[in-house]
Amino acid sequence: MAAGNQNMDKNTIKKLQAIVGAGYLVTAKEDLLCYSYDGTGQEYMPSAVAFPGSAAEISEIMEFANQEFLPVIPRGAGTGMTGGSLPVEGGLVLVMSRLNRILEIDAENQVAVLEPGVITGQFQAAVKKLGLFYPPDPASHDFCTMGGNVAECSGGPSAVKYGVTRDYILGLEVILPDGRLMHTGVRTAKGVVGYDLTRLFTGSEGTLGIITKIIVRLLALPTHKKTYLVLTDSLQQAAVLVAEILKSGVLPNTLEYMDQTALHVVNEYLPLELPSSTRALLLIEVDGNEKSTEEQGGKLLSLLADRQAYPGILQVRQAHNEKEVEDLWKARRSISPATFKLKPHKIAEDVVVPKTKIPHLVDFTEKLSRELDIIILTFGHAGDGNIHVNIMLDKDDPEENRKGETAKRRLFEYVLSLSGTLSGEHGIGITKAPFLALELDETSLMLMQKIKKVFDPNNILNPGKIFSIESH
């Protein structure tokens, strides 16, 4: 357990209880523990955890916290991969789970209004019933919340065709660190009135304000979808196929890949026996209206049928039924948790490179793995160049720890040398904060810190994130 926890004094506890009700504030160590960790596997104890029931309560909490210089850390489901919801300086964790209502789905205008605690997958299911579509689909969508998705600007497999969370957020209701409630954006398709505060809050990792309401743009649900699976005998062949598919004019709504190690850890979920020479799998979906899906599927299959051009293809298979599609997706979504079969800890990165550089990147990680003698698996959103690189290690082994840190730094340097970026969808949090200056120039960093100061002059809202300069 890392530092951070401080006991909260009685007066503070009383005041917070008076705001949220005694039943919605917890301070017992065993309760706090449940809110001390996130998807990084790191742990920091909060001083207290509150479960506010309304924006008005959050506003009162923030006004008080701002006076008392009490750190406040908003938390969705804690599925973040960079430590965004960890109370690294102790303080009050605000769990948003009670603000979990879908307030409105305006089907005709394709707009919804919802609270931040709504679970992403449940929201997607609710709009689907009305023939509507909310595309962003992080792998954790059965658990993660819309508020967390907005705070981190989450992506997912569908981003290759449909973009990321940012592209669907029209407006927000936000509580500022001093307790003031404000609104940003619009509920219309377009809007350019004043500076774009909606997108400034989106991806700001809970450091500028607490989101209490989200206005979301929806699409019409595609009527048809086809799912394909391709096995190859090398990672390079898979990477080349990705580039060729994208060049062919097919725009898949999913173009995911898994390397050999990723396949190994989710083998039990796969709906087929893998040939022993399998080194990579591509999961490809096309969607749209009936004719368009047919046309894209046909184009894709005829490209993949050219075995002279792509001798590394071992098998091409169209999912036979809904069950097979579900199994494939289950396998895909299980990779991240299943990696812990290999080692107790990992460094999980979500770098992005230009699509044509994917072969370079997978080549680099394979060599790095051999050179450092450490397990590195890669998988993810090949279609948009957003590759998940998991460096597996045992933190109790100082040698592996050191190798892991070396691998991470060399990965970042290489990705930037390819004109890539350190994060496509996880954000900076604490795990990438020490590397921020590798990517951003000094002026950008200075401006971002000044913006933080405008919104949060006392630095009480999610302190220690993004700009922290110590290594965690």
Q: How long is the chain?
A: 472
Distance CA 262, CA 387 (A): 13
Query: What minimum distance in Å lies between the beta carbon of 33 and a second copy?
Result: 29
Q: Which of 28, 194, 268, 469 binds a second copy (CB under 8 A)?
A: 194
User: How far is the CA of 263 from the CAs of 240, 345, 364, in angstroms?
Assistant: 19, 19, 19
Q: Strand 25-26's sheet: what is its strand order?
A: 25-26, 48-50, 92-95, 72-75
By C-beta, is 247 or 307 nearer to a second copy?
247
Q: Which residues of 218-237 are buried (b: 16+ CB within 10 A; e: fewer)?
A: beeebeeebbbbbbbbbbbb
Q: Does residue 32 interact with a second copy by CB under 8 A? A: no
By C-beta, is 249 or 311 nearer to a second copy?
249
The answer to whether 15 and 64 have CB atoms below 8 angstroms apart is yes
By C-beta, is 38 or 400 nearer to a second copy?
38
Q: Which of 422, 430, 460, 461 binds a second copy (CB under 8 A)?
A: 422
Q: Which of 6, 54, 67, 444 binds a second copy (CB under 8 A)?
A: 444
Which residue bears the tokens 């998988």? 379
Indicate the helix (H) or strand (E) that contains 450. helix 442-455
Distance CA 321, CA 227 (A): 9
Q: Does residue 172 interact with a second copy by CB under 8 A? A: no
Q: Which of residues 380-399 bind a second copy (CB under 8 A)?
A: 381, 384-386
How many residues in the shown chain lie near a second copy by CB under 8 A? 87
Q: Which of residues 40-59 bind a second copy (CB under 8 A)?
A: none
Q: Does residue 196 interact with a second copy by CB under 8 A? A: yes
**Residues in contact with a second copy, shown as a per-residue x/- string from 301 to 340 under the rule CB under 8 A:** ----------------------------------------
Distance CA 43, CA 34 (A): 10
The answer to whether 39 and 86 have CB atoms below 8 angstroms apart is no
Write out the DSSP string of 66-81: HHHT--EEEESSS--S
Mapped onto helix, strand or coil, the DSSP state of residue 396 is: coil
Query: What minimum distance in Å lies between the beta carbon of 468 and a second copy?
Result: 13
By C-beta, is 10 or 195 nearer to a second copy?
195
Distance CA 167, CA 154 (A): 10
Q: Does residue 445 interact with a second copy by CB under 8 A? A: yes
Query: What minimum distance in Å lies between the beta carbon of 383 and a second copy?
Result: 8
| Interface segment toward a second copy; rule CB under 8 A; list 30-38, 175-183, 331-339, 398-406 | 175-183
- Sign of dihedral through CA atoms 335, 337, 341, 347? positive
**Residues in contact with a second copy, shown as a per-residue x/- string from 346 to 385 under the rule CB under 8 A:** ------xxxxx------------------------x--xx
| Interface segment toward a second copy; rule CB under 8 A; list 114-122, 271-279, 388-396, 427-435 | 427-435
By C-beta, is 89 or 384 nearer to a second copy?
384
Q: Which amino acid is at 299?
A: K
By C-beta, is 78 or 157 nearer to a second copy?
157
**Residues in contact with a second copy, shown as a per-residue x/- string from 197 to 226 under the rule CB under 8 A:** x-xx-xxx---x-----------x--x---
Query: What minimum distance in Å lies between the beta carbon of 189 and a second copy?
Result: 4
Phi, psi of 128 (to 5 degrees): -60, -40
By C-beta, is 335 or 352 nearer to a second copy?
352
By C-beta, is 22 or 309 nearer to a second copy?
309
The answer to whether 238 and 298 have CB atoms below 8 angstroms apart is no
Q: Which of residues 273-302 bind a second copy (CB under 8 A)?
A: 288-292, 294-296
Closest CA to 52 of 186, 210, 246: 210
Q: Which of residues 139-158 bind a second copy (CB under 8 A)?
A: 152-153, 155
* Burial bucket for residue 195 (CB in 10 Å: 0-12, 13-18, 19+): exposed
